[in-house]
A and B are shown apart, each in its own frame.
Chain A
Amino acid sequence: MSVQIHVENVIKKYGDNVIIPNLSVDIENGELFTLLGPSGCGKTTLLRMIAGFNSIEGGQIKFNNDVINDLPAHKRNIGMVFQSYAIFPHLTVRQNVEYGMKMRKVKKTIMKKKVDDILHVVRIDTYQNRLPERLSGGQQQRVALARAIVIEPTVLLMDEPLSNLDAKLRIEMRSAIKDIQKKVGITTVYVTHDQEEALAISDRIAVMKDGVIQQVGKPFEIYLRPKNIFVASFIGHSNVFKATIEVLDKKVYVKFENGFKVEMTNLVDTVVNGQEVKVSVRPEEFTIGENGFKGTITSSTFLGKYVNYTVNFNQNIIEELEGNIEFTQDLNTFSKIFEVGGSIGLELNLNKINVYTADGQTSLIKGVN
């Protein structure tokens, strides 16, 4: 039986050090929910509060309607997958998977069937009688997953489960995890600092910074309409330009420092003439054209499907110190490759770019905040 998780005004302190000041979030039944944020922002801390390994200094955590604050970890019926796998070294693969069922005193016959099933699902049945030391990282991770799922936990918690694997296995395991999670239909909280992994695996993502959730949303929402500059820069790359609002004949324009001006039709009504703003543009949101920014290509990286360029502007129009931006050229739509040292003109895809208040905290795109 899977549940909703309600985190309500939760506080975490270590001594006087406040790690999570006041955090609320609701996690839906059966979804794969990811906590994403830079290292040290409190993801593990929050996950371990849900698991019952960290105390809760304020607020409450509920599984459906039951407050679990004071329920000891071993009674919460959670499945947990650790970064270090945490396989019992003295037990075989099969005994590892059986461990939780033995704790629950499940009948032998039922246990055998369930264990057989899960070993098959995670594709480790051939190694079931081996000791874990003789398994590869990916195999160990599968054992950890099987062990956590087989007890039919109410929630599944995973803390950076893929970070010890090499790049190729990481991608393979991330679809395996997603498939299995969907098959079992269990509410899952997944922690990672890897934004690409989060985008690929999650139903919804909460982006965290300093113990505060910045934005909760589906992967495409978070990528396309970040709520603030932090999210825009943490998820993927964003080039941030300084600009000013110009209102002329009820039309709203964004005017960049070099004089380049575009009309925006999707900004909130509260913007006023002369307001300073930040404009965030992803590398692939530029188009090549002569009316926008002019700059010099300082480097290029060929990536097969794409070419990544860094482009230098002389004017002081962007946030970054050196005046460089990144621009990604999709070779499907344009096949001329620019030379380093050559000049280039860039325009903007106005449907995609994001505009923020001058402090970078609030999006000025309609419907985002």
Chain B
Amino acid sequence: MSKKKFKFDFWSGVTLAIMAVFIIFLIYPLLSLVVQAFKDPGSESFTLANFSKFFSKKYYYTTMINSFKVTICVTVLAILIGAPLAYIMKTMKIRGKAVLEILIMISMLSPPFIGAYSWVLLSGRNGVLTRFLTNVLGIQNPPSIYGFGGILLVFTLKLFPFIYLYVGGALKKVDVALGEAAESLGCSGIKKVFTLILPLVLPSLLAGGLLVFMNSLADFGTPMLIGEGFRTMPVIIYDEYISEMGGQANFASALSTMMIIFTAGLFLIQKYIVNKKSFTMSSMRPIEAKKVKGMKNILAHLFVYFVVFLAIIPQITVMFTSFLKTKGTQFVGGSAFSSATYSFDSYKKIFEKMKTPIINTFTFGLIAIIIIIIIGMLGAYVTVRKKNIFTNILDTVTMFPYIIPGSVLGITLLVTFSKGSLPLGGTAIIIIVAFVIRRLPYTLRSSAAILYQLSPSVEEASISLGASPVKTFFKVTTRMMLPGVFAGAIMSWITVITELSSSIMLYVTKTQTLSVAIFTEVLRASYGTAAALSTILTLTTVISLLIFFKFSGSKEVSM
């Protein structure tokens, strides 16, 4: 309708409504955050003091160095583990592959801080492994889980599945013929991997690497629990924010602004590289897993089993611990595992005293997921089928949350909505808003992807048969979009119920969620209840994941 004037219809209404949600709950808060960052806490005048304060004190700027140190090391390690793992799993026959893949997914999707917490149970000061090493083997000062090394371990084990997933996905698109062609040209073995396979999967490797980078940079729970002296930026943002409580959080805002600038910059660089290097692959004959014999086979199995075992340890530990008998906050028998007695004490306790977080998690989560599905479907439709300048902007804006660390989002929402005309601080609404904003992209992406595959002619057929375009959307389009929407919604759901970094900023006692409750219980060293809560959360995640596998008929998720 190039000549016609802009017509206000249902879809422009939808575009505007979604845009309004994002302007109110994301753009405006972010802008006010940036404004706060440049204001003097006392006089309200504009200043760079908040930034110079950061760079002039070692106490502050080391957190940035620490953050980068951890993030870069984690990314490298995750690639070194995830990429070979993907290559082995896709090219060799590994026993129990299906189960292993599910375990990898579970470790990826289970709540991030549970990893940290269970490693504390294992090799923290009073951990079973620590005791075993010191008491039984007589090793003094066994390696500590606290500090840099611990964070590295936990992050790497938690995040290598991203690399595995991305590289595995790319490997599936490599045609066997390419490998055969390389071999016919005299290139085989390791040389083939580095000259042919690696360049082919490089864009996916970069995309996965970015995800690892972003996640480890933004994660708050792990360094908070086990960082001790080793403080990273999200931790200091949280601390400063808490200590500035009541004020305008100018310093915390400045820190948050810096984080967003990093992540946005990284995101753009990655996009640029991927765009430049991108090529499409389609394979008629995907790589097949071959049976390998001898030493190679044994080593491959050892590697795969060892990595997956390490990755799944936290889940096992937590479930096991949840059944230990406790007294007060302590496990009976001194420490976990050794001469332990088993009971349902922890579960009894949480069902007596901690019902609220469980109920909250499910009610907030369900409300959020319903809103996510509605916005996701409508938003995907306008951005795919009604392309114009507004929907293009919408498409970009709804992807912002990918690059905004959860704790930063939490702070911005709180700073903006704690007072003023829309006082939402301490309400369930603000937590649900954070859930929706942060986890919408999964559903939106996945809905848009399926819409691109659906031929518009089916919708036109419906219109030609007399259904109005809006009616067609609800009667036909939504039905055909369902598989994509569902796949995305499960990912949104799992990440909503395990969300910590934004809700830790936004909760009050009555709006505690499971993740927040676990986190505070761990901080209080009430490990038994924390374990029981974690088990509930982990089981919910696993069941959701299994439902996803059942309905999507696939064994993979896309993040």
Contacts and interface: CB of A to CB of B under 8 A. Distances in A.
B330 interface: no
A162 B120 CA distance: 67
A79 B467 contact: no
B547 to A, nearest CB: 20
B298 interface: no
Contacts of B462: 88, 99
A151 B463 CA distance: 13
Given A84-B457, A89-B480, A90-B480, A74 B463 contact: yes
B468 A86 contact: no
A51 B460 CA distance: 10
Given A55-B4, A57-B3, A86 B458 contact: yes
A76 B457 CA distance: 17
B455 A100 contact: no
Given A84-B457, A88-B458, A74 B464 contact: yes
A74 B466 contact: yes
Contact of B460 (A53, A55, A72, A89): A53
B466 A90 contact: no
A77 interface: yes
A103 interface: yes
A15 B464 contact: no
A163 to B, nearest CB: 13
A82 interface: yes
Nearest to A57: B3
Contacts, number: 77
Given A57-B2, A86-B458, A88-B476, A103 B464 contact: no
B463 to A, nearest CB: 5
Contacts of B468: 72, 74
B1 interface: yes
Contacts of B4: 55
A13 B1 CA distance: 10
A80 B460 contact: yes
B537 to A, nearest CB: 35
Interface in A30-88: 51-53, 55, 57, 72-80, 82-84, 86-88
B464 to A, nearest CB: 4
Nearest to B1: A55
B149 interface: no
A103 B466 CA distance: 6
Nearest to A99: B465
B466 to A, nearest CB: 4
A82 B3 contact: no
B84 to A, nearest CB: 40
A254 interface: no
B469 interface: yes
Contacts of A83: 457
A100 B480 contact: no
A77 B466 contact: yes
Contact of B461 (A55, A75, A80): A80
The DSSP consensus for interface residues of chain B is helix
Contacts of A73: 460, 463-464
B466 A86 contact: no
Contact of B467 (A13, A51, A53, A103): A103
B479 interface: yes
Given A13-B2, A55-B2, A90-B479, A78 B467 contact: no
Contact of A82 (B460, B466, B469, B471): B460
A209 interface: no
A104 B1 contact: no
> What band does the interface of chain A fall in when counting residues whose beta carbon is under 8 Å from B?
20 to 34
A74 B480 contact: no
Contacts of A157: 464
A144 to B, nearest CB: 8
Given A86-B460, A90-B480, A100 B466 contact: yes
A51 B479 contact: no
Given A13-B2, A55-B1, A55-B2, A86 B461 contact: yes
B176 to A, nearest CB: 29
Contact of B464 (A79, A88, A89): A79
Interface in B466-490: 466-469, 471-472, 476, 479-480
Contacts of A103: 465-467, 471
Interface in A151-170: 151, 157
A216 to B, nearest CB: 25
A78 B4 CA distance: 24
A193 interface: no
A282 interface: no
A147 interface: yes
Nearest to A54: B1
Nearest to B459: A86
Contacts of A93: none
B478 to A, nearest CB: 10
Nearest to A48: B460
A19 interface: no
A82 B461 contact: yes
A60 to B, nearest CB: 14
B464 A148 contact: yes
B466 A51 contact: no
Given A53-B460, A84-B455, A15 B2 contact: yes
A359 to B, nearest CB: 35
Contacts of B480: 89-90
A84 B1 CA distance: 25
A51 B455 CA distance: 17
Nearest to A89: B480
B465 A100 contact: yes
Most chain-B CB neighbours within 10 Å: which of A83, A88, A144, A151? A88
Interface of A: 13-15, 51-53, 55, 57, 72-80, 82-84, 86-90, 99-100, 103-104, 144, 147-148, 151, 157
Given A57-B3, A75-B466, A99-B465, 16 more contacts: A15-B2, A53-B460, A53-B463, A55-B4, A72-B468, A73-B464, A74-B463, A78-B464, A80-B461, A83-B457, A84-B457, A86-B461, A90-B480, A103-B467, A148-B464, A148-B465
The 5 A-B pairs at the shortest CB distance, nearest first, are namely A100-B465, A103-B466, A80-B464, A86-B461, A86-B457
17 contacts: A14-B2, A51-B464, A53-B463, A55-B1, A57-B3, A74-B465, A74-B472, A75-B466, A77-B466, A78-B464, A80-B460, A86-B458, A86-B461, A104-B466, A144-B461, A148-B464, A151-B466
